[in-house]
Structure 1
Amino acid sequence: MEDLGSLGGSTSSAFDVNGRGEIVGRSESSTGAHAFRWAERGGMEDLGTLRQNDAGSSTAIGITDNGVIFGHSETESGASHGFKWTKADGMIDLGTLSGVGDSVARDGHTRGIVVGRSFQTTDFDTRRAVKWMDGEIADLGTLYQDNSGVSEAFAVNNKGVVVGFSQADVTTGSAIRTPAVKWIDGEIFDLGTLRDDNSDFSDARGINSQGTIVGQSREADGTEVHAACWGC
């Protein structure tokens, strides 16, 4: 076990590591809790924030094998926006669907796709799964027939398949339905739950290059939540 240190504060946490051994996370510093990048050469680097003079807070959630980092940061308005960081361009504000509210970038891959969530307004219940690519943000939609409701994206694989969860139309006899989903080329697919009537909830948190998906679901009798795998 190796101590990676901090940015001068008393607490730091690491959240992801890529194939080159570059590590990202969050550390307390003299100006707030900041996203960091750690490498064998150079140690811990403060990635700053989206505010002037690097005030406020930021968190790095993930890093691709080619060194692109993503996460979220406080902005001048006080909102928290998803960001993409590269060595060439520094921290880039990915924005939100409507220009207001918060967003967070959770995962990405070497082809430039970043996924996460964005509010449509300042209300948490307007959050939607989104994909950023080539500087544009796209709403991935939901399972509702009228495309209303809530969805979130948590991961994307190297083929561009995105996974997360979505609210859905209620099935016969069930009170609520929020199943895990995957998006392929903009089309959403219901992955179901472990319940016999496919009700209740599940969510997908990770996907590998072979398309195996992992997450969690309310299990068959509805009393417990279990780890779940689609395609194992």
Structure 2
Amino acid sequence: MLALGSALASAQDCRGRFDILLPPTMSEGGVRALSASGLCAAGWSHAPPYEILQRWRWSANIGFEGAFDAYSISGAEGLSSRGDFEVGIVANSSLHNQPYIWNRSLGLRVIASINNQSATALSVSDDGGVVVGRWFVMTGIPRAFRWTESDGMQDLGVFGITPGEARDISDDGSVIVGWGNGVGAFRWTKETGLQDLGALAGNGGEASAVSGDGRVIVGFTYDQNYRTLPFRWTQADGMKLVPLPDDREGAASDVSFDGSFIVGWYRPSTSSAIRHAFCWSDLLGFEDLGIAGNNTESVANAVSDDGEVVAGYMDDGVQSTPFRWIRASADVNRDARVANDDFDMFAEQFGSADPRADFNRDGFVNGNDYDLFAEQFDLGC
């Protein structure tokens, strides 16, 4: 286990604060997944001197945990809602990527792939019973897979998803989303089979994530000029664009449990390829999460269920840095103003040790939260 220590640095403004989640012995990396609470994160990093890909995991109560001893290469890709199951890739002696599922009590288990081909696990149901991802046929073409203990690894390519990937799964394991050649963004269930989600300009796209309740799907579609645009899909409304400033280019990467919060990246300027992480919700609208330090761009890959924590990576043009962005607004009741009723509400939550008073999202309600809230309140943030 790696201690949190000085590896956690912060930058803060009225929008929120960036916590840098880089393991002390690593040179760069990124967050790939968050638990529903935002108190557990997992991803990848590079270990010097050979910059080998290494898995890491961070939780508020334990801190950093490093790579698996038995494998020289590893990377975490997904977490269950509670954060107790983790999936990703490990490399065997022949350097084939193999999918894994990990749980603290059960340990690491490598999932047998089809024909022993390279594969990557990308997402896992909340109980760890269903895993999805991609595997590669001999020609290197990716195909979507679904794995369960009873059925083993199933090739979803037989449903027309070839090539393609299964990118995410609902908490109960019933809804799978991803992309496939010829179908673009798709939704798949065992009962209804494959559903093409369509494309707003007829140019395809990809589904990146599904809400925990399985009702909302997000990703990106291409416009007539093949720019990527983020979408939100529901059974009732179909595919709708996530509104970005001035119709800028972007993509949605993740969505909260009930579909209220959507995160991803967008391009703030039409004259630059630089990206900024964003969070969008009906309640708060569009939020540019900005950057911190010497970084020039940021990308959001994951969001907590309440939208208070966003995670991904920042980049300075040379290397990437994993982050957790924590909302730092003293507008507790979310009425778009900071007033005495916000202070009263926070004080009541703090006095009863309500988890909502964990203002700095470190897993504890203590004086640090009170001080940080008071600072933001005084600033009118």
TM range (shorter): 0.7 to 0.9
Quick check: which one's strand share is greater? 1
Instruction: Specify the alignment match of 1:130 in structure 2.
Output: 231
- For residues 185-205 of structure 1, the C-alpha deviation after alignment (integer angstroms, 9 at most, x for no partner) is 283111111158xx9321111
- For residues 192-223 of structure 1, the C-alpha deviation after alignment (integer angstroms, 9 at most, x for no partner) is 11158xx932111111124210112246xx76
Instruction: Specify the alignment match of 1:215 in structure 2.
Output: 312
What is the RMSD computed on CA atoms of the aligned residues?
Answer: 2.8
CA distance in 2, matches of 1:204, 1:229: 9
Instruction: Specify the alignment match of 2:255 in structure 1.
Output: 156
Question: Aligned partner of 1:178: which letter?
Answer: R
Unmatched tracts of structure 2, length 5 or more = 1-107, 327-360, 362-381
Match runs of 1:78-97 below 5 Å: 81-97=184-200
Q: After alignment, is 177-186 or 108-117 more displaced? A: 177-186
**Relative CO higher for 1 or 2, CA cutoff 8 Å, sep ≥ 6?**
2
Match runs of 1:1-232 below 5 Å: 1-8=108-115, 10-21=117-128, 22-29=130-137, 33-48=142-157, 51=160, 56-67=162-173, 68-75=175-182, 81-99=184-202, 101-109=203-211, 110-121=213-224, 123=226, 126-134=227-235, 136-144=238-246, 147=247, 149-160=248-259, 161-169=261-269, 178-185=275-282, 187-195=285-293, 200-211=296-307, 212-218=309-315, 224-231=319-326, 232=361
CA distance in 2, matches of 1:122, 1:13: 32
CA distance in 2, matches of 1:74, 1:37: 17
CA distance in 2, matches of 1:218, 1:29: 33
SS at match of 2:245: coil
Q: State the aligned residue count.
A: 212
Quickly say closer, same or farther: Cα 1:43–1:111, change in 2 above 3 A.
closer
Unmatched tracts of structure 1, length 5 or more = none
SS at match of 2:157: coil
Q: Is this contact kept in 1: 2:164–2:179, CA < 8 A?
A: yes
CA distance in 1, matches of 2:186, 2:165: 9
Quickly say closer, same or farther: Cα 1:9–1:33, change in 2 above 3 A.
farther
SS at match of 1:8: helix
Q: Report sequence identity in percent.
A: 27
CA distance in 2, matches of 1:175, 1:86: 40
C-alpha displacement at 1:50, in angstroms?
5.8
CA distance in 1, matches of 2:120, 2:158: 17
SS at match of 1:48: helix
C-alpha displacement at 1:30, in angstroms?
8.3
Q: Is this contact kept in 1: 2:170–2:214, CA < 8 A?
A: no
C-alpha displacement at 1:17, in angstroms?
1.1
Q: Is this contact kept in 2: 1:130–1:138, CA < 8 A?
A: yes
Q: Is this contact kept in 2: 1:50–1:93, CA < 8 A?
A: no
CA distance in 1, matches of 2:230, 2:159: 22
Quickly say closer, same or farther: Cα 1:50–1:177, change in 2 above 3 A.
same
Question: Aligned partner of 2:290: which letter?
Answer: G
Q: Is this contact kept in 2: 1:155–1:164, CA < 8 A?
A: yes
- For residues 80-101 of structure 1, the C-alpha deviation after alignment (integer angstroms, 9 at most, x for no partner) is 60111111111111121112x2
C-alpha displacement at 1:112, in angstroms?
0.8
